[in-house]
Amino acid sequence: MVNKRLDRARKEIAYVSNYDYIIVNDNLKEAVEGLRSIIKAEKLKLKRNREILVKFQKD
Q: Give the range of the structural domain holding residue 45, as residue numbers without chain letter.
A: 19-59
Between CA 12 and CA 3 the distance in angstroms is 14
6: in domain: no
Look at the chain and report how many structural domains it folds into.
1
38: in domain: yes
- Write out the DSSP string of 28-54: HHHHHHHHHHHHHHHHH-GGG-HHHHH
Residues 6+ apart with CB under 8 A from 25: 31
10: in domain: no
Q: What is the pLDDT along the chain (59 residues), one digit of tens a residue?
A: 999 999 998 998 899 999 999 999 999 999 999 999 999 999 999 888 888 878 777 76
Q: How high is the pLDDT of residue 34?
A: 98
